[in-house]
Amino acid sequence: MSLFAIADLHLPLGQYKPMDEFEGWENYVSKIKNNWRRLVTDGDTVVIAGDISWAMRLEEAKKDFEFLQKLPGRKLLIKGNHDYWWATRRKMEKFFEDCGFDTLSIIHNSAEAVGDFVVCGTRGWFFDADEDADKKVLLREVGRLERSIQEALKTGKEPVVFLHYPPVLGESRCEELLAVLSRYKIRRCYCGHIHGAVARKIPVQTVNGTVIRLVSCDAVNFTPVLVR
């Protein structure tokens, strides 16, 4: 049983908005499928840390979820900034159940045990949340991260945090989210959102004892990254 991570699939199957026009993203859906099948087995779990589908509504994402359902392993989904299809937990779980998507689950104010680890996390937010509206969203995300970690700690296993927005990027830091990671002594954090040449140059970083790694699709060659 292995745990993998990847972010920013940007699947366009339900709403045609492919990323192929961007350098390095040519035939990316096929790359994701082939690399996933090469590494992941049915007994494994893959955390997808946001920007899963370009769909605007849950129903429009059905073809993207069908694509994921056919791939090996269990998939744990975390919201990204482009996941406009994201709805209430009840609505999403009912949609998955009605469609037979039994390998898909969401992480939202919750946590899921995977072997010796527990997957937890949330979307996160911008570093420079100066406007009142941004500050409100950031504080909400901080609360969601705390609740998710607290649910994870109830299992007695080690929490592994997944965020869509990276909590640190170069000299930019989201101190509110980093404080949560530090307070709960989180050892590993995986995130996405950053693309292009910049993403491919971002090193694995350690901040206050937390190892932070970027797993955006194009930063990891459209290949799930082994966590354990």
- HEC per residue, the chain: CCEEEEECCCECCCCCCCCCCCCCCCCHHHHHHHHHHHHCCCCCEEEEECCCECCCCCHHHHHHHHHHHHCCCEEEEECCCCCCCCCCHHHHHHHHHHHCCCCEEECCCCEEEECCEEEEEECCCCCCCCCHHHHHHHHHHHHHHHHHHHHHHCCCCEEEEEECCCCEECCEECHHHHHHHHHCCCCEEEECCCCHHHHHHCCCEEECCEEEEECEHHHCCCCCEECC
Residue among 91, 84, 101 nearest 17 (CA): 84
Residue 196 identity: G
For 3-226, CATH number? 3.60.21.10
State residue 106's pLDDT score.
Answer: 97
Domain coordinates in residue numbering, the chain:
3-226
pLDDT in tens, the chain (228 residues): 899 999 999 999 987 787 888 888 999 999 999 999 999 999 999 999 999 999 999 999 999 999 999 999 999 999 999 999 999 999 999 999 999 999 999 999 999 999 999 999 999 998 766 677 788 999 999 999 999 999 999 999 999 999 999 999 888 899 999 999 999 999 999 999 999 888 888 889 999 999 999 999 999 999 999 998
State residue 197's pLDDT score.
Answer: 85
* Residue in the structure block whose two tokens are 């035939």: 27
Asked whether 82 and 38 are in contact (CB, 8 A), the reply is no
Read off the pTM: 0.95
State residue 128's pLDDT score.
Answer: 67
